[in-house]
Structure 1
Amino acid sequence: MKFFFRAFLFTVAIFFGLSTHSQTSDSIPRKKITIPRIYEAPKIDGILDDPVWQNAPIATDFVERMPTNGKPIPDSLKTDVKIVYDDLGIYFGAKMMDPNPDQILKELTERDGIGNDDFFFILLNGYNDRQQSLQFIVTAAGVQYDAKMTNDNEDSSWNGIWYSAVKINEDGWVAEIFIPYSEVRFPSKSKQLWGLNMEREFRRDRIRYSWSPIDNTKGSFSIYDGEIYGIENVQSPIRLSFQPYVSAYVNDYDGKTETIINGGMDLKYGINDAFTLDMILIPDFGQSKFDAEVLNLSAFETQYEENRAFFTEGTELFTKGNLFYSRRVGGYPSGNPNLNENEEIEVYPSTVDLINAFKISGRTEDNLGIGIFNAITERTYADIKNVETEETRKELVEPLANYNIVVLDQRFGDSSSVSFVNTNVVREGDFRDANATGLYMDLTNKKNTYNYYASAEGSWVKEGDVKFGVEGIGGMAKISGKNRFSGEINFRTKNYDINDLGYSSNVNFITYSGYYGYRYLQPKGNLNNLFLNFNLNYTRRLETDLYNRLLFNFNSSFTTKEFFGFGGGFETTPFGTNDIYEPRVAGKYVIVPDYYDVWGWISTDYRKKLAVDATIDWYKYNEPGRGELRLELKPQYRISDKWKLFLSTNVTLSDKEEGFVDLVEEDIIFGKRDRNTVINSLESQYIFNNTMALNLAFRHYYSEVDYSQYLTLQDDGTLLINTDYSQNQDATYNNWNVDVRFSWWFAPGSQLSLLYRNAMESYISDSRVNLTNNFKNLFDEPQLNSLSLRVSYYLDYNRMKNWWGPKSQSTGVDTNLINSKMGKATHNG
């Protein structure tokens, strides 16, 4: 496989005039700094008075990145960063001048949150490949934020164990940071060459300054890294850590109370300098964030956000392409029970239990990324009841199943890659099995002005017969300058199906897309930035050939010098749509009249105590009375640097829409309906300090559907009135969730979480229910009241081994020394 990748890479490199060996573009200037080894570590306390800082080299002469790209930093904000290293890791001491230190913005947030804050930002790349770096950010309030960055895409689910302290003084503020080698991947060489950039956010004026200058006219942020020289003869410590947990739940539902106590462990092991094994043993996801459930009347399933930490952290390799939707693992069962006469389903499980899972990921010195993911889920049964005899039985609806992903990702140049992804789902017995394979190419020319991309995916599903489908994408884009454009072709055959481990909705189409955009590269007049975008998409059904739609979209975005954002757009389907999905029967389609859609939005300055986002969006169809109005209002108020409120109201009013209702023998029944949906949510955060927080999250979802007429779909896509269909399809659905969570990061990587949860939902076959009766129906339903406590503790092997004896000379790292030097440093890792 590695030989195949090298050969394929060599071919495309010749074709596009790229170099597979050059790691940088020669035209991009690189700042460089050579740092010394130290033999006495500084105390991480935000005061740069340790002897090691006195003669340390200084990274200085920061340059404005935005809004005015390339402008030197003024003397009043002079920023100097001293950098040194030792056998344990690398140290940064950043001194940031501010003429008014009492006005430094320092809002407290939870870990991995940045509010109305000044902050200092480190971008560190141990392989110096300009493509994947680690972010380490500390705010002026002392809050840590860390993430993995891959070609400007952030994965903030990654949590490192590092140390920081900040101090505001009469000249400005200081950030002192220590990053252990255990958090950085780097090659096993005697002499290291790392990529580095650093930034400072001056929040009062919303100006960002970077150490190594970044040209916003072309290329991605990470290709402008500077370089660190001087790191020699260092080694990564043994990277072995355990995170045992214990959790307790008291759940009350429908008058029944149960107590559950769980215990388990996560394991992380550094196989070598580059590769890491993550394993979850006896998983517990009971405190995951609730899903934003909706009443779904569309032809496609709702795609929910992943909230389980194991499936969000360190998955950047596995999300290559679109073959991995992690909610499939432990999601809805795949089977349907066979009912005998007089039987009904009494209990059908909504999830499948996960037995265990692991992932191995990393990148070789030659920039070949390798990822392996595997998970096993438990057998799951539905309860079947005989309504006459009252007897119950169980039937298997999901067997023992194995989910597997293999990824190979070869990077080269500044931001080019070729990737191979394979996913496989095997279920025991005669249940459904599936396999999907994708090959992806993403190439940027040496000047970082044009991008070319292509992909091909194949899916195999075995459920009785074998079903095979294909997706293909090819396109190019100009990614530099004020004027940008792109073109793309995308197709999927009718049997394309990756839904066992991925997510795919529409199939059996070919789409031709074009884009043109204009932007300001520097502030001009009263505007900091301006974006104008034009999109044109033309889609046809593949089998049998049929016009689907032509869609034109224009959207715009403006930000003033006072950081007031606004914009809007226009969209239309001038020739209408032949919708091939809403009928829910292959080969059928329904004619949807042409529409136009206009919208506008505003976003006020987030530096103010009160900030507001608001959107209005109006659809009008070329059919009497048919249209849709969407309104969204999202105010937020900062009561203090510790307490913040977020409100959100989303209203959708849809009149005379036409959608699928039922299938009666050979007839496809549609309904003309009015639908009103209101979503209200409230979130309040009170942050005690940079390790302790209280969070309230509330969401109420309401949707009612009122049918005025039923229709029968004809072969030509038209709809005829049906007076014979008499079933009531009116509906009112409510979903209510309240979470109150107290979180305490009491030690590095260790957390205590106390959660109270209240949840309920109601569904009735009626509409136009008044407000009082609606809430009466909702609160008459069974409620879930849950109180849970979860405590996890981070154990590092290098620290544990000192519990039983002296330090092993083979590791080169004494974590007791690390701990003794941290002082009162932030360590909520």
Structure 2
Amino acid sequence: MIHKLFFCLVVLFSSAFAKAQTTPTLPKEKVPDSILKKTEQPVIPVSVKKVDSLLKKTDTITAKQLVKKSQPEPDSLVINRKKYKATRVTTVPQIDGQPFEKFWDNIPVGNNFVMVEPTNGQKERDTHKTEFKIAYDDNALYVAAYLYDNDPDTILRQFSQRDQIDVQADLFGFFLNTYNNQINQTRFFATSANALGDAIAEGGREDFSYNVVFKSETSIGHRGWFVEMKIPYRTLRFPEIEKQDWSFQIFRRIRSLNEEYTYNFLDITQGIGTQYDAIMTGVENINPPLRLNLYPYATVIHDRFDGVNTTQYNAGMDLKYGINDAFTLDASLIPDFGQVAFDQVELNLGPFEQLFGENRAFFNEGTDLFNKGNIFFSRRIGQTPSGFNNIDVFDDEDIIDNPSNAQLLNAVKVTGRTAKRLGIGFLNAITEKTEATIENNNSGERRTVVTEPFTNYNMFVLDQQFSKNSSIALSNASTIRNGSFTDANVTAIVLDHNDKNGANNYNSEIKMSNRFTPTGTETGYAGELNWRKTEGKWRQRLGYFFRDKNWNPNDLGRNFRNNTQTIAADLSYNQFTPTGIFNRFDVDLRLRHRRQMDPDLHTNTDITLNPFFFTRERLAFGADFVLYSRDLDQFESRKTGQVVRYEPGYFTGGFISTDYRKKFAVDFRMGRFKRFDDTEESYDFNFSPRYRFSDEFLLIYRLSWNKNDNRISYVTTDGVEPIVSRRDTHSVENTISGTYNFNNKQALSLSFRNFWSRATFSRDFNELANDGSVLESDYELSEDFNPDANFNVWNLDLSYRWRFAPGSEASLLYRNSIFNFDNQGDIGFQDSLVELFTQPSRHNVSLRVTYFLDFNDAKRWFKA
């Protein structure tokens, strides 16, 4: 029944777009593991702007209403940092979202907020004043916020779950920097619908994978809405000193007016947001309790596939231990990732593997330090075994079992920062030995082959901050495999410096990779230099990047394109304040010049013009215009030193996004790519309507359609020489996501995705000349090899989640998945969908319960 319902829906929205031409296209060697995503050139630009995070609108403020403010001298960044004194208390408030009890009466008030957007620097409205109070004791910080609104009926209050703060609801944020370094912030959020969120921010980056246990409650009354927060010290890291040197920022978003305010003025034309914190004084002589939090869990999973039923029971525990006030140990004992989101698998016909985002919470939370140098990619831990595709079998043998993932045994990480602002991060993970089982067809005898040995993964980072907003870091990633397998070690040194005037950012990296193979050591190098102007309406950037032939961090990192160097130059104009019909707009011009390093060879150059506009009525729209030079692709041929030549071309595209505050909104994008003096061209189309039935229920549908014709593409290798031909690809993707929020702690969610892609190769095969141009070939396909492809995947997740206590959650998940791959290159979308439903379907039901236990609470229980 589920299949039939979704089949009707998918066909209804897709069939009109799926009837594309069927030209011969796509050779492909076999389609093993690399059936995944297409990641080859040309990269057709999608909209460069992430519209959802930019949908902010103003009301009828005109330019004449701008409040003039004194500007700093152009050669200096002057930040007037307000000071607020937190109050030590001996009693605790009731955290119920109504901060009107006696506890708060004698706590000083912070007020006089200033607008961030749309009119940067304007005073707050008299009708929408904001006030706050902060208190503390030896256990926690206590924050109260009074977000006044003269018409509380206009306060938007769409329900959402944890960290889903970019919804149609007002927002309050308390941002704390316990090192007052103007770089890092721990951010705590609450929405007017009583959802909470938390994130780690560094400079302009914000990471919502960070999750801690704190308490937040809100209420709405006749004068506005109100917030109370309790932030235990177990969620924070700070130096062991008598008087704490902390800074903070208070943030408010009024969604109905599309206005944002902060307590300390934040100049969006200069520097970065974390530089504009206010000073918090008064916090001293803290004697925090032991920081030991336990997260025991239990799961039961029932799986049915192709008539086979299995049931698994798992139990384990994660823990967080405060080694001292600054450092925290996280450990995952007997990890279980049975309910992580499915990967967005696609047909991969390019020369590189498809990579997926990290969905495992342990490797997402609090890992900002490990991103220094970009040499750590956590999905390598527990990945497909290195010997998965390289198993030698005899003619009379079959592989009857070949695990696609190595089992993670345990993982630990230690992170923190000292009083002298030295950040230290250490991560260690261990995976067990993985074996494939091979059976002799005649005797039935079985043997095993090790596809991945017992493996230890390590990541170590030292990050020294200096000059308030700069840092230098040393990162090291190592992979140690048992036995005669390849080991690896990668090191990076990273400098990130912002000048004292807040006008320029300088960044440099130098990296070295070593792979210790049974035949010797392979050493490679990579690096980059960047300069960015970070003030004013006109901003520039210059950058240089290189990767030599042997650069290979892929045992614990990710990189595919080596033996390359790139020169980057950007120029942008930013209108930060309202003008005419626009809330703001910007225009970006980007140049990329790429060369092969050894031997030196110009491979390609492209120039991009990207205007973006955002109106007062909250309509966002923009365009992409790209010109490409001829391209000598180093990787498509799969042969070192052999390029494939593509003619110059251009891309034109644009997008529109309507006002998300309305019940119905739509995102639309389309584009066209065409090569000059060549038959290759492609089209893409994306349409995504959304409807908010109520504050509890939102449904989003997305249709993506893409067609690429006559691309010169790799087919196979004939002896040692690559064979290419023209390839046509056509893909359709349908996704549906919806959530019904019973409240901010319980939700029923649906996530559905169907991705189809077809590829057809011309039978006019070619060889390659030294310059990459094509030559006629007498190559013919053998009877047992067909490079065409028909790929179809279906995933449906239906989940119920209940956050029944702070840090504790129960989740019930039903999954349905189907997969099909064959060589029908001329098949249509509807026929492929029918073929898909002839394949065996996997049904999976799982229940997971996680409980948060604070060791200090447990001690009190036993005493009682």
Q: Tell me the alpha carbon deviations over residues 662-719 of structure 1, each in whole angstroms, 9 at most, x when there is no partner.
A: 1121221112111001111000100001111110000001000011232222223111
Question: Is 2:545 aligned against 1:490?
Answer: yes
Q: Is the 8 A contact 1:359 1:374 kept in 2?
A: yes
* Correspondences of 1:144-183 after superposition (within 5 Å): 144-183=196-235
Identify the residue that residue 666 of structure 2 maps to in structure 1: 612
Shift of 1:771: 4.2
Identify the residue that residue 682 of structure 2 maps to in structure 1: 628
Q: Is the 8 A contact 2:515 2:522 kept in 1?
A: yes
Identify the residue that residue 744 of structure 1 maps to in structure 2: 802
3-state SS of the aligned residue for 2:559? coil
Identify the residue that residue 505 of structure 1 maps to in structure 2: 560
Query: Match for 1:715 among 770, 790, 796?
Result: 770
Q: Read off the aligned partner of 2:656 and give its amino acid letter.
A: I
Identify the residue that residue 713 of structure 2 maps to in structure 1: 659
Q: Read off the aligned partner of 1:566 and give its amino acid letter.
A: F
Identify the residue that residue 768 of structure 1 maps to in structure 2: 826
Query: Match for 1:398 among 452, 469, 478?
Result: 452
Identify the residue that residue 82 of structure 2 maps to in structure 1: 31
Identify the residue that residue 334 of structure 1 maps to in structure 2: 386
Identify the residue that residue 222 of structure 1 maps to in structure 2: 274
Q: Tell me the alpha carbon deviations over residues 358-412 of structure 1, each in whole angstroms, 9 at most, x when there is no partner.
A: 0001000111100010000011011223345454322110000000011000111
Question: Is 2:611 aligned against 1:556?
Answer: yes
Question: Is 2:658 aligned against 1:600?
Answer: no
Relative distance call for 1:588 and 1:624 in structure 2 (3 A) is: closer
Point out where structure 1 has 5 or more consecutive residues left out of the alignment.
Answer: 1-24, 807-829
* Correspondences of 1:385-464 after superposition (within 5 Å): 385-463=439-517, 464=519
Q: Is the 8 A contact 2:138 2:289 kept in 1?
A: no
Identify the residue that residue 37 of structure 2 maps to in structure 1: none
Cα distance in 2 between the residues matched to 1:470 and 1:49? 61
Identify the residue that residue 792 of structure 2 maps to in structure 1: 734
Cα distance in 2 between the residues matched to 1:298 and 1:737? 24
Q: TM-score, normalised by structure 2?
A: 0.89
Identify the residue that residue 290 of structure 1 maps to in structure 2: 342
Identify the residue that residue 815 of structure 1 maps to in structure 2: none
Q: Is the 8 A contact 2:77 2:501 kept in 1?
A: no
Q: Read off the aligned partner of 1:403 and give its amino acid letter.
A: Y
Query: Match for 2:836 among 767, 778, 801?
Result: 778
Cα distance in 1 between the residues matched to 2:611 and 2:736? 29
* Correspondences of 1:340-355 after superposition (within 5 Å): 340-355=394-409
* Correspondences of 1:57-456 after superposition (within 5 Å): 57-114=108-165, 115-335=167-387, 336-456=390-510
> For the aligned residues, what is the CA RMSD?
1.3
Q: Is the 8 A contact 2:298 2:849 kept in 1?
A: yes
3-state SS of the aligned residue for 2:88? coil
Cα distance in 2 between the residues matched to 1:179 and 1:478? 36
Cα distance in 1 between the residues matched to 2:747 and 2:563? 49
Shift of 1:782: 1.8
Identify the residue that residue 642 of structure 2 maps to in structure 1: 588
Q: Is the 8 A contact 2:186 2:200 kept in 1?
A: yes
Cα distance in 2 between the residues matched to 1:705 and 1:391? 40
Shift of 1:772: 4.4
Cα distance in 1 between the residues matched to 2:829 and 2:232? 57
Cα distance in 1 between the residues matched to 2:766 and 2:847? 53
Q: Is the 8 A contact 2:647 2:678 kept in 1?
A: no
Cα distance in 1 between the residues matched to 2:821 and 2:828? 15
Cα distance in 2 between the residues matched to 1:195 and 1:246? 40
Shift of 1:139: 0.5
Query: Match for 2:699 among 609, 632, 645?
Result: 645
Shift of 1:569: 1.7
Q: TM-score, normalised by structure 1?
A: 0.93
Q: Read off the aligned partner of 2:617 and give its amino acid letter.
A: E
Q: Is the 8 A contact 1:199 1:210 kept in 2?
A: yes
Identify the residue that residue 790 of structure 1 maps to in structure 2: 848
Point out where structure 2 has 5 or more consecutive residues left out of the alignment.
Answer: 1-75
Higher deviation after alignment, 772-781 or 318-327:
772-781
* Correspondences of 1:45-60 after superposition (within 5 Å): 45-60=96-111
Cα distance in 2 between the residues matched to 1:789 and 1:619? 47
Q: Is the 8 A contact 2:756 2:829 kept in 1?
A: no
Higher deviation after alignment, 395-404 or 774-783:
774-783
Q: Is the 8 A contact 1:759 1:785 kept in 2?
A: yes
Q: Tell me the alpha carbon deviations over residues 126-161 of structure 1, each in whole angstroms, 9 at most, x when there is no partner.
A: 121111111111111110011111112111111122
Cα distance in 1 between the residues matched to 2:712 and 2:399? 31
Cα distance in 2 between the residues matched to 1:181 and 1:431? 45
Q: Read off the aligned partner of 1:542 and give its amino acid letter.
A: M
Cα distance in 1 between the residues matched to 2:77 and 2:597? 45
3-state SS of the aligned residue for 2:369? coil
Q: Is the 8 A contact 1:696 1:738 kept in 2?
A: yes
Relative distance call for 1:194 and 1:360 in structure 2 (3 A) is: same
3-state SS of the aligned residue for 1:689? coil
Q: Tell me the alpha carbon deviations over residues 17-56 of structure 1, each in whole angstroms, 9 at most, x when there is no partner.
A: xxxxxxxx98211011112222222211222222121222
Cα distance in 2 between the residues matched to 1:407 and 1:93? 37
Q: Tell me the alpha carbon deviations over residues 539-562 of structure 1, each in whole angstroms, 9 at most, x when there is no partner.
A: 111112222011111111110111
3-state SS of the aligned residue for 1:175? strand
Shift of 1:747: 1.0
Higher deviation after alignment, 403-412 or 537-546:
537-546
Shift of 1:65: 0.4
3-state SS of the aligned residue for 2:98? coil
Identify the residue that residue 740 of structure 2 maps to in structure 1: 686
Q: Tell me the alpha carbon deviations over residues 203-259 of structure 1, each in whole angstroms, 9 at most, x when there is no partner.
A: 001100110000111111111000111122212221101111110011011110001
Cα distance in 2 between the residues matched to 1:131 and 1:587? 44
Shift of 1:533: 0.8
Identify the residue that residue 43 of structure 2 maps to in structure 1: none
3-state SS of the aligned residue for 1:506? coil
Query: Match for 2:588 among 521, 527, 533?
Result: 533
Q: Is the 8 A contact 1:337 1:396 kept in 2?
A: no
Cα distance in 2 between the residues matched to 1:214 and 1:545? 46
Q: Is the 8 A contact 2:127 2:149 kept in 1?
A: yes
- Between the two proteins, the alignment pairs up a number of residues equal to 781
Higher deviation after alignment, 343-352 or 253-262:
343-352
Q: Read off the aligned partner of 2:600 and give its amino acid letter.
A: D
Cα distance in 1 between the residues matched to 2:77 and 2:526? 37
Identify the residue that residue 813 of structure 1 maps to in structure 2: none
3-state SS of the aligned residue for 1:798? helix
Q: Is the 8 A contact 2:138 2:288 kept in 1?
A: no
Cα distance in 2 between the residues matched to 1:684 and 1:535? 37
Cα distance in 1 between the residues matched to 2:469 and 2:281? 23
3-state SS of the aligned residue for 1:205? coil
Cα distance in 1 between the residues matched to 2:229 and 2:737? 32
Task: Say which structure, 1 or 2, has more relative contact order (CA 8 Å, 6+ apart).
Answer: 2
* Percent identical residues: 38
Q: Tell me the alpha carbon deviations over residues 173-196 of structure 1, each in whole angstroms, 9 at most, x when there is no partner.
A: 111112122222222222223111
Q: Tell me the alpha carbon deviations over residues 80-113 of structure 1, each in whole angstroms, 9 at most, x when there is no partner.
A: 1122222322212211111111121111011110
Identify the residue that residue 810 of structure 1 maps to in structure 2: none
Q: Is the 8 A contact 1:372 1:407 kept in 2?
A: yes
Cα distance in 1 between the residues matched to 2:441 and 2:586? 63
Identify the residue that residue 473 of structure 1 maps to in structure 2: 528
Higher deviation after alignment, 95-104 or 576-585:
95-104
Cα distance in 2 between the residues matched to 1:804 and 1:99? 49
Q: Tell me the alpha carbon deviations over residues 615-665 of structure 1, each in whole angstroms, 9 at most, x when there is no partner.
A: 111100124431010111122111100000011111110011111111121
